[in-house]
Amino acid sequence: MLSSQIISYLRTERTPLYLYDMDLLRRTLQSATAASAQYGYKVHYALKANFDPVIVDCIREYGFGTDCVSGNEVRYSIECGFDPSQVVYAGVGKTDEEIEFAVRQGIFAFNCESRQELQVINHIAGQVGTVANVALRLNPDVDPMTHTHISTGQADSKFGISYKEIDQLAAETGTLNNIRITGIHFHIGSQITEMRVFEYLCRRVNTLYEWFTDRGYELSHVNLGGGLGIDYDDPDNNPVPAFGEYFDIFARNLRVGSATEIHFELGRSLVGQCGEFISRVLFTKVNSAGKNVALLDGSMTELIRPALYQARHAIENLDGSGRPQAEYTIGGTVCESSDTFARNLSLPELQRGDLVSIKTAGAYGAAMASRYNMHDLPRAVYWEGE
């Protein structure tokens, strides 16, 4: 819930913009740090969720590493002051140039997605004259019970190495002298709210971990990826995700040796709730079906989640106090029907010029913005709390 002070401030600002509550971000990071430290778990921030430099700088101060999915993300992490030993590189398709760059940085680990990629990393590391640390991203075939577009850990997916190939893989790794298998990696999907999914994941991980240790691999780490879901329906009452419950599940269910570190790659849960997308009502009208339509000056070019995943975000009329409720279709400026933030949404009556907040937009909001329709990229405003 935004204070009247911040709303007055927003009235003076050009929209659309992303508003970040830095106090909430710090409380979230604090909570994640405390909950993970209890078990000695290491957390990498999945940079793809939001690479805003102010946000990233704050995350670095709490001691997180980064999880990168491109050479540019690896470079950016290092430019932002993360130590290469805190950086993991997990892209499903890495180019030779990106691999060489990351090899030269001496990152903590490549999360390798195929046998062929393993050969290429080995070859490039050999050319550079070094040995690269690699964690094998295994596809555990676990249903994350989330939107299909953000499910990554099922058998029929482009991600990870099939568990059916691990015999062959083990036979091959012995001949690759420029890589060191230091870990195994998993990431089954995002916005996971069914916590038992993480229990199922642990069971698969335990079996695969045992398979590797039985064959003499000394795994220095197991990386469980990210995926912890957040509350899009009621963000005001659940601003900080259940990190305690999340890490407890792994502590209770994982069976790995005490010399093996446990790593995570959290994105959404660290930054999702601290960001709101703020725009203004440009026009209101009634369509031929008799429904109220409100058109915002923001669109899918700044926040694509509703268009891409049919995602529902809580929406608030920041100027609606005391007005009667009405039902709206809330649209953006782009000439595509998918550019609709909500349908049949009951809100205090909207008028031209009203400020509208679309909540829980700190993750995969600004980071996924595009210049479609030659729109400007969205601005950011940082709020330090009351």
At a CB cut-off of 8 Å and minimum separation 6, what does 164 contact? none
H-helix segments, 62-195: 71-79, 96-105, 115-128, 166-173
Instruction: Confirm or reject binding of residue 231 to ligand LLP (CB under 6 A).
Output: no
Q: Kindly tell me the burial class for residue 92, based on how many C-beta atoms sit within 10 Å of its own C-beta (0-12, 13-18, 19 or more).
A: middle
- Rounded (to 5) percent helix, strand, coil in the chain: 35, 25, 40
| Distance of closest approach, residue 325 Cβ to ligand LLP, in angstroms | 29
At a CB cut-off of 8 Å and minimum separation 6, what does 41 contact? 247, 250, 262, 263, 264
Q: Which of residues 58-87 bind ligand LLP (CB under 6 A)?
A: 67
Stretch that binds ligand LLP, among 259-267, 278-286, 350-358, 372-380 (CB under 6 A): 259-267
The 110-149 site mask, x for binding ligand LLP (CB under 6 A), equals ----------------------------------------
CB atoms closer than 10 angstroms to residue 376: 11
Q: Which is closer to ligand LLP, CB of 67 or CB of 100?
A: 67
Tell me, by CB under 6 A, how many residues bind ligand LLP. 20
Instruction: Confirm or reject binding of residue 269 to ligand LLP (CB under 6 A).
Output: yes
**What is the C-alpha separation between 333 and 340, in angstroms, rounded?**
9
**What is the C-alpha separation between 205 and 214, in angstroms, rounded?**
14
Please check whether residue 117 is in contact with residue 138, taking contact to mean a CB–CB distance below 8 angstroms: no
| Distance of closest approach, residue 215 Cβ to ligand LLP, in angstroms | 25
Q: Which of residues 275-314 bind ligand LLP (CB under 6 A)?
A: 305, 309
| Distance of closest approach, residue 70 Cβ to ligand LLP, in angstroms | 12
| Distance of closest approach, residue 314 Cβ to ligand LLP, in angstroms | 15
Q: Which of residues 179-208 bind ligand LLP (CB under 6 A)?
A: 187, 190-191
Instruction: Confirm or reject binding of residue 150 to ligand LLP (CB under 6 A).
Output: yes
Q: Which is closer to ligand LLP, CB of 241 or CB of 320?
A: 241
Strand, helix or coil at 139? strand
| Distance of closest approach, residue 28 Cβ to ligand LLP, in angstroms | 13
Nearest to 19 by CA among 383, 386, 385: 383
Residues of the shown chain interacting with ligand LLP in the complex, contacts defined by CB under 6 A = 46, 49, 67, 90, 150, 187, 190-191, 225-228, 265-269, 305, 309, 364
